[in-house]
């Protein structure tokens, strides 16, 4: 879920403690009546080119005090192109902390013009991007050549604990908004958007963490949901501590799949003819960089962060392969730095600050470091690739300077319908989460892709998935729900890429065409 920082995406997800959802008679935010948005031109070239209009919506920082301090949400809109409108479609790209302002262009990626009858609404959630105030704590936190992730010495552990506490302390300067960044706050903002736009219901498309936001919104406001697509489903039982540990195991499996792919194309990359050989070289390179950082900047941590993206998505596989090849065989560290910087923009920690602001306060994380130490070492011994990197990414939650709440008990029984999507080896939001959401939303249908490792990859060119999304948005028709605890329909996963120079294969053309579309959508979603 930490798709905006490679140090993790998606994100890490203490099992248990669930609070009852607020009673339907006490709808959150009911006392607040937002003003209409004053629409004007957008500053983004992409939004301008797609005919979007932009504006701001002022909402209460604390909905319990509707007349108090406000936050200003950046919003974009691309209006429907058909004679008949199907209403507004709100979109969230995940994170938490991902910017959604540019996602109003998503409608054009829906096949058969099925997106054209909606007003697509992109927005930066509170604290994010162009919304005001925008959070920042320490822009240099992800600077180069950091201490080694794996705390093999007492001093390394103390160093990372000091860094984690230091980051949490630095976040205090953001003030009162730290107490109002929970998923429930963002859900209330979504309902304020609905009111401001004069709509009785919303349609919603959520990716990754955005699926949890959709789950919470539809629990709090079930009658306000018309249609909902949730791609890459967060397991509502595991927000957020346990889900991190589950991710670690899943990412370890996926990076091995990537190593197998590199071995398949050894004629191109020359990194090993078996997955085991590639894995051995990868870890040897990591150890080398930990001792002698490439260019003085790319150490073992940065190496791990770069390749974490291969566990998230198949798009980008060739870029990472070329960087691996280029460094091992030619000493090219500049390409590695470019990949690292792309996911960790120097000086910009906004996404990370909001990620923590949401997750650290949605639920109380363990404050006893012994719990973290034991759980992460036990996980590391079976899944070394990402475990400690993920632990330190989330460790500021042990020291977070804002009061935590209790998560909503997600209940979709009153929701008219939802289309759920998941590749079955998704590491950021493991597949059991989608099965759990399917149980809780009895009027939903689940599309799965057996063997697929891509996270939240709908609308990236797989017709079996994308056409069903289009059918649902056009008519409300869902795939027929099947009995049992499994998906209702299965599709092929997003195809693995075929590198230039590889021996021609039957599926080369379709795979390359799909990859081009994936890369375009990935840029849009800030993967």
The residues carrying an active-site annotation are 208, 426, 455
Packing angle between helix 209-220 and helix 432-440, nearest 10 degrees?
10
- With a CB cutoff of 8 Å and minimum separation 6, the contacts of 195 are 33, 34
Q: Assess contact for 359 and 240: CB atoms under 8 A.
A: yes
Alpha helices in 344-426 (DSSP H): 350-362, 369-382, 387-394
**CA gap 185, 278 in Å, rounded:** 45
Concatenating the DSSP letter of every residue in 66-79 gives: TTS-EEEEEEEEE-
Q: How many CB atoms lie within 10 A of CB 284?
A: 11
Q: CA-to-CA distance for 477 and 3, rounded, in angstroms?
A: 31
Do residues 429 and 232 touch, judged by C-beta distance below 8 A?
A: yes
Q: Which of 73, 437, 21 is nearest to 221 (CA)?
A: 21
Between helix 369-382 and helix 241-264 the angle, nearest 10°, is: 20
CA distance 167 to 186: 23
Cβ pair 312, 274 in contact under 8 A:
no
Question: Rounded to an integer, what is the distance from CA 40 to the centroid of its chain?
Answer: 29
**3 state SS of 451:** coil
Q: Taking every pair of C-alpha atoms in the chain, what is the biggest distance, in angstroms?
A: 67
Burial of 374 (0-12, 13-18, 19+ CB in 10 A): exposed
Distance CA 230, CA 171 (A): 31
State the Cα–Cα distance between residues 315 and 518, nearest whole angstrom: 6
**Which residues are 77's β-sheet partners?**
53, 121
Give the length of the chain: 527
DSSP bridge partners of 419: 229, 445
| CA nearest to 258, candidates 303, 299, 318, 323 | 318
Torsion angle of C-alpha atoms 32, 216, 94, 124, degrees rounded to 10: 0
Instruction: For residues 212 and 263, give the distance between their C-alpha atoms in angstroms, rounded to a whole number.
Output: 36
The rounded distance, in Å, linking the Cα atoms of 243 and 250 is: 10
């Amino acid at each position: 879920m930490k798709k905006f920082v490679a140090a993790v995406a998606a994100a890490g997800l203490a099992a248990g403690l669930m609070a009852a959802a607020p009673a339907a008679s006490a709808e959150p935010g009911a006392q607040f009546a937002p003003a209409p948005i004053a629409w004007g031109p957008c500053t983004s070239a992409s939004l301008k080119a797609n005919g979007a209009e932009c504006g701001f919506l002022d909402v209460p920082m604390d909905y319990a005090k509707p007349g108090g301090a406000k936050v200003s949400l950046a919003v974009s809109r691309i209006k429907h192109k058909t004679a008949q409108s199907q209403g507004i479609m709100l979109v969230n790209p995940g994170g938490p902390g991902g910017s959604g302002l540019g996602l109003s262009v998503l409608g054009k990626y829906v096949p058969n013009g099925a997106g054209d009858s909606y007003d697509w609404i992109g927005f930066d959630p509170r604290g994010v991007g162009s919304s005001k105030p925008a959070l920042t704590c320490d822009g240099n936190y992800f600077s180069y050549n950091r201490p080694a992730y794996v705390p093999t010495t007492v001093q390394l552990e103390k160093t990372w604990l000091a860094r984690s506490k230091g980051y949490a302390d630095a976040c205090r300067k953001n003030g009162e908004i730290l107490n109002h960044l929970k998923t429930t706050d963002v859900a209330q903002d979504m309902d304020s958007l609905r009111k401001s736009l004069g709509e009785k219901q919303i349609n919603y498309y959520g990716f990754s963490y955005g699926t949890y936001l959709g789950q919470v919104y539809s629990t709090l406001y079930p009658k306000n949901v018309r249609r909902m697509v949730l791609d890459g489903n967060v397991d509502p039982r595991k927000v957020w501590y346990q889900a991190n540990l589950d991710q670690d195991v899943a990412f370890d499996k996926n990076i091995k799949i990537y190593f197998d792919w590199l071995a398949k194309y050894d004629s191109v990359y020359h990194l090993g003819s078996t997955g085991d050989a590639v894995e051995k070289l990868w870890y040897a390179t990591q150890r080398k960089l930990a001792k002698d950082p490439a260019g003085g900047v790319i150490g073992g941590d940065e190496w791990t962060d770069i390749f974490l993206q291969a566990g998230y998505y198949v798009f980008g596989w060739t870029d990472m392969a070329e960087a691996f090849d280029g460094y091992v065989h030619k000493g090219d560290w500049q390409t590695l730095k470019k990949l690292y910087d792309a996911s960790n923009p120097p000086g910009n920690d906004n996404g990370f600050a909001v990620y923590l602001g949401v997750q650290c306060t949605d639920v109380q994380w363990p404050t006893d470091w012994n719990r973290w130490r034991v759980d992460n070492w036990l996980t590391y011994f079976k899944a070394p690739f990402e475990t400690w990197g993920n632990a330190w990414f989330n460790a500021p939650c042990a020291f977070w300077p804002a009061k935590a709440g209790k998560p909503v008990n997600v209940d979709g029984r009153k929701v008219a319908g939802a289309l759920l999507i998941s590749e079955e080896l998704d590491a950021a939001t493991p597949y059991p989460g989608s099965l759990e959401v399917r149980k809780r939303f009895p009027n939903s249908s689940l599309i799965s892709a057996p063997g697929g490792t891509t996270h939240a990859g709908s609308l990236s060119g797989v017709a079996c998935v994308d056409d069903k999304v289009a059918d649902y948005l056009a008519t409300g028709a869902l795939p027929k729900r099947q009995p049992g605890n499994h998906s209702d329909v299965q599709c092929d996963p997003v195809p693995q890429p075929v590198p230039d120079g590889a021996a021609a294969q039957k599926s080369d053309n379709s795979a390359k065409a799909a990859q081009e579309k994936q890369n375009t959508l990935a840029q849009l979603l800030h993967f």
